[in-house]
Amino acid sequence: MGLPTRIKSSSDIDVLLGSLSAKIRDELRLWQYYVLDRVKERTNVLTALNAGVPTWHGPDMKGKSVEELAALLRELDKIEGLGQFAARYGVKVNGKVAASLIKAVFPDMSDPEELATAWVRVVDVINVPLYREWEEDTKVALENIRNRVEYTRLADHGPKLGEITSTNPLVESYFTRLPHNSTTSTHPRSALSLANNGWIWNADPLQNFALLPSKSYLRREVIVWGDCVKLRYGDSPASNPWLWDYMTSYVTSLASIFDGFRIDNCHSTPLNVGMVLLDKARVVRPDLYVCAELFTGSEEMDVYFVSRLGINSLIREAYNGHDPKDLSRLLYRFGVDRPIGENILYPSL
């Protein structure tokens, strides 16, 4: 394809992203996960019209413009699959709903073909913001890929990963793919691709970025770690009993051995999971010491996590202390709880 495999300049990145953008548009056609299929919509509504139009149960639609109809369908939650990205053309309107609605708009129109054509005009209007959403998500994803490639391949302060190969791809994979073998054969192949964990700049720590409505993976916003995956805990132990039981056993066994825990990436750990598992650990060791790597983006949110999880101290980077006095302030504020260099002896320490 004549594409550079070793990035030496920003121009090389421009060439690669130009090719990637064309592939996303022309080959991957990811927009199909966002929009309604106007051909299939016409077929479905025509089938429903020919079978006998059901009665429309909803507000008066007569004389409404296509823009008003599109807005009302969203408002009435009649558009299925919006924001799910579950399948190509997974966004749709039930054929019977569409038939009853379009007949309610044009009660004097009897030709099914004409009614189906009118419905497609509504579909086209529904699709306009969905195409814009795809375009914006693609733009953000490409920009994030650019930023990541600049850092990993070009920047003087980056790792300078070198040549792009099958084992050293342009960007890190977001998934760990399990092999299909005797152990995994009881699961569908689609379940063998596991989302890797990571972190996001300025993320909402109360939102699980691996679950909808987050599009962080789709928009390449996650700075990914390739050595661990996201676990689907759900809202409570009832959501995934095996996983909660397994992790409870693991955590309580650690509490029986160690005096304290360090919670890595605490701001990306589901708060409900942390609360339950730490409660279980404290049954085993009531005086368990907990320090946490916690960067929520605000002091108020830090306090919220600390109070819910019972965190004893926070991990902070020492280099953020611009002089000895400021380093002392960081130590006092986030963990030691006593002024550094004080002239008071504590025999119990």
- Cα–Cα distances (Å) from 39 to 45, 106, 116, 216, 307, in that order, read 10, 21, 10, 31, 55
Beta-sheet strand order (sheet of 289-292): 260-263, 289-292, 313-314
Quote the tokens at residue 267: 């701001």
SS3 203: coil
Strand-pairing partners, residue 261, are 290
pLDDT (0 to 100) of residue 336:
59
**Predicted TM-score of the model (pTM):** 0.84
Cβ(160)–Cβ(153) under 8 Å? yes
**Residue 346: which pLDDT band, with cuts at 50, 70 and 90?**
low
Please report where in the chains the tokens 């030691």 appear, as a residue.
336
Q: Summarize pLDDT for 80-121 with one digit per residue, the tens.
A: 999 999 999 999 999 999 999 999 999 989 899 999 999 999
Q: Summarize pLDDT for 262-309 with one digit per residue, the tens.
A: 999 898 889 999 999 999 999 999 999 999 998 888 889 989 999 999
Would you kindly state where each structural domain of the chain is located, as residue ranges? 1-155, 237-336
Taking domain 237-336, whether its CATH number is 2.60.40 is answered by no
Q: Give the pLDDT mean for 40-58.
A: 91
